[in-house]
Amino acid sequence: MRNSLILALALMAAASPAFAEKALPLHIGGRVAPAEDGKGYVHQWPGIYFEGRFRGTGAAVRVKDSANILDIFIDDQLVRTISKPGDGQIEFTGLTDSEHSIRVEKRTEAAWTSAQFSGIFVPDSAEVLSLKPRARQIEFIGDSYTVGYGNTSPKRECPGDGVWATTQTQLAFGPLTAKHFNADYRVNAISGRGIVRNYNGSTGLTLPQAYPNIVNLDSGAIPDTDAASDDWAPQIVVIGLGTNDFSTPLNPGEKWKTRDELQKDYVSNYIGFVQSLRAANPDAYFVLMATDQANGEIQAQVKKVLTGLKAAGETRIAFIPMNGLTFEGCDWHPSTADDLKISASLVTFLDSQPDIWHGR
């Protein structure tokens, strides 16, 4: 079937009549909000994906997106990568008249702006098929390491839009791990953000402050309505935060006068963040992760968080170190080889916990 796949591709401002009437029901991975124009969804977090199924000979993907790179798969085969497509439609025709799956994955990080996914459409002659959510769900919360910042770059220097172009969240350790277990996933991560301190003391919401929002990730806006949350109850929540809190010295004018003050604030707020997540996810297993950077300071503080949570009664929680990484991605970030190594350690741990998926 794949050898007979013929693709007619076009980007246009208006929808083609052949695809104007029938929208596929979408299975959405990640947090999205209804678009203001009533056509599809807006999104801002990385790692978003949209899926649909149909029986027919063609499909069209509609977007309003001037910020991201998107991969489009038909029947698990990558058929098109589009970069900053703008307001348009991408058509695929000439498919065999049979059942097909279609999936659109967001590669890039664009925490500064939202984009719109308007839907997947098929001709009137096609049969719309349903797509069930996966039984397993896993959520990843973190910073640039979780985003996959510059992970596909062949070198550490990435001037201009080099970081944006080489960031591939779908090849970061989170999606790799989720796909290994055939789990749906969410990636709630923003480069440069920490628990209480952003990179080098920079301004902007910390990750716990941004977490309630679906868009508006850099302002204190009222949390947005989540259009894909009704069935979201992850069995596992993986958190990797602390690199930006501790990777640089304190600057004059920051609220912490000493490293000890920063550490105590970090531990206290991290414990509170996990406890708030626990309240929303009473059955989840939490995994805290950290590298051995900053002379071990990050791991030492995360272990204090673990100790504090256990002292408060938390039992379904563990710490996994991210050691031995080469950091050959952009700006000394993990590479895809590092992502594979981190994912392997996660898979090994999760496999050692037979009840972690609650029998799913």
pLDDT at 8 (0 to 100) = 42
pLDDT at 6 over 70: no
- For 233-257, how does the pLDDT look when each residue is reduced to its tens digit (9 = 90+)? 999 999 999 999 999 999 999 999 9
Please give the span between the terminal C-alpha atoms of the chain, in angstroms, as a whole number.
32
- For 131-168, how does the pLDDT look when each residue is reduced to its tens digit (9 = 90+)? 888 999 999 999 999 999 999 999 999 999 999 999 99
pLDDT at 216 (0 to 100) = 83
Domains and CATH numbers, the chain: 2-129 (2.60.120.260), 136-351 (3.40.50.1110)
Instruction: Give the integer Cα–Cα distance in Å for 62 and 66.
Output: 13
pTM score, whole prediction: 0.94
- For 309-360, how does the pLDDT look when each residue is reduced to its tens digit (9 = 90+)? 999 999 999 999 999 999 999 999 999 999 999 999 999 999 999 899 999 9
Assign 231 a pLDDT band (cuts: 50, 70, 90). confident
Instruction: Tell me the pLDDT of the chain averaged across its residues.
Output: 92
Instruction: Give the integer Cα–Cα distance in Å for 322 and 177.
Output: 14
pLDDT at 92 over 50: yes
106 CB burial (10 A radius; 0-12, 13-18, 19+) = buried
Instruction: Give the integer Cα–Cα distance in Å for 281 and 274.
Output: 10
Distances (CA, A) of 166 to 68, 128, 241, 242, 279: 12, 35, 22, 23, 36
Query: Which of 33, 194, 57, 37 has the alpha carbon at shortest distance from 124?
Result: 57
Token pair of 319 as six digits: 């710490």
Catalytic amino acids?
A: 144
